[in-house]
Copies of this chain bind each other. A is one copy, B any other.
Amino acid sequence: MDKKIKVSIVGGSGYTGIELLRLLSLHPNVEILHITSRNDTGRFVCDIYPSLRGVLSHKFVNPDDIDLKDSNLVFFATPNGVAMKYAKNLIDNGIKVIDLAADFRIKNIKEWEKWYEMPHECPDIIEKAIYGLPEVNRNQIKNAQLVANPGCYPTAIQLALVPLLKEGLIDPLSIIADAKSGISGAGKKTQDGLLLSEASENFKAYSLSGHRHQPEIEENLSQNSKNGKVRVLFVPHLLPMVRGIHATIYANCIKDFDPSKIFNNFYDKEPFVDIMKANSCPETKSVRASNVCRISFYKVPNTQQLVILSVIDNLVKGAAGQALQNMNIMMGWQETLGLELIPLTP
A interface list, Cβ under 8 A from B: 15, 18, 22, 25-26, 49-55, 176, 178, 180, 182-184, 188, 190-192, 194-206, 208-209, 231, 233, 235, 237, 239-244, 246, 248, 250, 274, 276, 279-290, 292, 294, 296, 298, 300, 303, 305, 307, 309, 311, 340, 342-346
Contact = CB atoms under 8 A, between A and B. Distances in A.
A304 to B, nearest CB: 11
B22 A202 contact: no
B346 A242 contact: yes
A290 to B, nearest CB: 8
A103 to B, nearest CB: 24
Given A50-B294, A198-B346, A285-B198, A26 B237 contact: no
A165 to B, nearest CB: 19
A229 to B, nearest CB: 13
- Residue of A22, A51, A235, A243 contacting most chain B CB atoms (<10 Å): A51
Given A50-B294, A197-B194, A307-B233, A246 B204 contact: yes
Nearest to A194: B195
6 contacts: A22-B344, A201-B242, A205-B309, A208-B309, A209-B279, A289-B289
A131 to B, nearest CB: 26
A241 B201 contact: yes
Contacts of A288: 51, 201
Contact of A208 (B201, B204, B244, B298): B298
A243 B292 CA distance: 22
A274 B204 contact: no
Q: Which residue of A198, A243, A289 has the most chain B CB atoms within 10 A of its CB atom?
A: A198
Which residue, A194, A237, A287, A290, has most C-beta atoms of chain B within 10 A? A237
Considering residues A202, A206, A346, which has the most beta carbons from chain B within 10 angstroms of its beta carbon? A346
A291 to B, nearest CB: 11
Contacts of A206: 281
A201 B285 contact: yes
A177 to B, nearest CB: 10
Nearest to A54: B274
A182 B180 CA distance: 14
A196 B242 contact: yes
Contact of A191 (B190, B205, B274): B190
A114 to B, nearest CB: 14
B196 A199 contact: yes
Contact of A202 (B204, B248, B283): B283
List the 4 closest A-B pairs by CB distance, nearest first. A190-B190, A51-B343, A202-B285, A197-B346
B53 A342 contact: no
A249 to B, nearest CB: 10
A50 B305 CA distance: 27
A315 to B, nearest CB: 8
Given A15-B346, A246-B237, A283 B203 contact: yes
